[in-house]
């Protein structure tokens, strides 16, 4: 009884705190309310589980979490499902608690929860809040001061998976680290069979350093096809290990500001065609993961097609806005692979602004700037502006580029 009282008390205080924050214009309120809620009711998220009628879908990985989860949530909403989703990308435990604290009502239940989770916090989330599905996008070097090397990040996710019995995994088959997470679990895979670059603006190659991965037998993996970084069709000449067979096969044509995506469902051999109004191959991967999840949930193809076409990015994730009369594309970069892929999509005739910060959420360590392929900007037609807390560091990196 005491715990239930704490839960309802935390809901009331959360709403009062949120309105006070907004009234005072102190912050966007994406995590502070959740932090307060967990202080009042430490097992708050465990109580929230009963407010979901169908499934909880969690999404993690280095890049693409916000876009992939956003597309999934949008598909479900177009399918007339009531969805709770941490839309603004606050993906640590306080951010997840925040969205539930501001959404849950005593006599209202949601059909689905679509929860983006930070890799390191997934295991803590699963302590209190189990899910039916986990989609893992990719694993790249990211924020070394927080995560350490890639195997450490992978171990965070493995530990979380082990805590959640009955969890169904949807994994990116093209990433050798991600595909290995599915051993001994109910697992389905998505990945690209073929990628075609159909744009003069976009580069298909990058000079950014690529991680070299060894097979479990200790020999380096080789590739039949390598799309970017370690993503591709890999195999081991020593023991025969290779990319797993794919349940949702993608074929994509990348144009300047959109992609044409065909998805083949291996179990039925049905083909589905989509237009994705997002730039770059990395967003085609996000769309493929989201579409695969929607097909797995049994959502109708026409609904998925309409939702993918109408999806609009959240702040900074390939977001298109008109600012002071200028058409603007805002993209997030935070690690070498993500930055190098974004740089492939930059129109070198445009005005380019790069803002770099080193707040805690961004990662204090900015050494990744030197592993990112900023050399792709060397033929920019206009002066490049640098801004943010680390503007001078960015300017020095561009000088060397």
Catalytic residues: 365
How far is the C-alpha of 112 from the C-alpha of 86, rounded, in Å?
12
Residue 154: how many CB atoms within 10 A of its CB?
Answer: 17
Phi and psi torsions of 152, nearest 5°: -65, -45
Report yes or no: 117 and 125 within 8 Å, Cβ to Cβ. yes
Q: Return d(Cα 368, Cα 339) in angstroms, integer.
A: 9
Which residues make Cβ contacts (< 8 Å) with residue 171, sequence separation at least 6? 135, 136, 178, 179, 181, 182, 187, 188, 189, 190
Query: Cα separations (Å) of 179 from 41, 220, 281?
Result: 37, 16, 19
How far from 166 is each of 26, 49, 75, CA to CA, in Å?
42, 16, 24
C-alpha distances in Å from residue 214, one per residue of 39, 76, 82, 203, 217: 43, 39, 44, 28, 8
Q: What span, in angstroms and rounded, lies between the C-alpha atoms of 267 and 55? A: 22
Give the C-alpha separation, 309 to 111, whole Å.
23
């Amino acid at each position: 009884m005491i715990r239930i009282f704490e839960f309802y008390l935390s809901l009331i205080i959360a709403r009062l705190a949120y309105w006070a924050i907004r009234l005072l214009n102190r912050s966007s309120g994406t995590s502070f309310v959740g932090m307060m809620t967990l202080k009042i009711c430490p097992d708050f998220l465990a109580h929230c589980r009963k407010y979901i009628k169908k499934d909880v879908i969690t999404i993690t990985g280095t890049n693409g979490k916000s876009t992939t989860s956003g597309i999934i949530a949008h598909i479900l909403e177009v399918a007339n499902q009531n969805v709770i989703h941490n839309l603004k990308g606050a993906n640590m435990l306080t951010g997840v608690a925040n969205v539930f604290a501001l959404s849950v009502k005593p006599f209202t239940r949601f059909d689905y929860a679509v929860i983006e989770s930070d890799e390191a916090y997934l295991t803590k989330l699963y302590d209190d809040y189990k899910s039916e599905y986990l989609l893992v996008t990719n694993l790249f070097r990211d924020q070394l001061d927080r995560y350490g090397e890639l195997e450490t990040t992978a171990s965070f996710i493995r530990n979380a998976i082990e805590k959640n019995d009955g969890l169904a995994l949807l994994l990116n088959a093209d990433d050798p680290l991600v595909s290995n997470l599915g051993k001994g679990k109910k697992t389905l895979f998505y990945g690209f069979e073929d990628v075609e670059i159909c744009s003069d603006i976009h580069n298909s190659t990058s000079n950014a350093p690529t991680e070299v991965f060894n097979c479990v037998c200790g020999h380096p993996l080789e590739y039949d096809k390598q799309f970017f970084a370690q993503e591709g069709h890999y195999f081991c000449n020593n023991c025969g290990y290779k990319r797993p067979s794919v349940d949702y096969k993608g074929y994509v044509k990348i144009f300047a500001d959109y992609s044409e995506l065909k998805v083949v469902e291996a179990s039925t051999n049905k083909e589905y065609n989509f237009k994705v109004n997002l730039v770059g191959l990395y967003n085609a991967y996000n769309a493929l993961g989201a579409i695969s999840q929607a097909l797995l949930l049994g959502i109708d193809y026409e609904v998925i097609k309409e939702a993918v076409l109408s999806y609009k990015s959240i702040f900074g994730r390939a977001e298109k806005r008109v600012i002071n009369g200028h058409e603007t594309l805002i993209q997030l970069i935070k690690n070498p692979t993500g930055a190098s892929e974004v740089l492939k999509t930059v129109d070198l005739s445009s005005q380019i602004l790069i803002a770099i910060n080193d707040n805690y959420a961004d990662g204090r360590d900015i050494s990744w700037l030197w592993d990112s392929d900023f050399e792709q900007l060397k033929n920019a037609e206009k002066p490049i502006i640098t801004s943010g807390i680390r503007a001078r560091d960015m300017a020095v990196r561009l000088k060397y580029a």
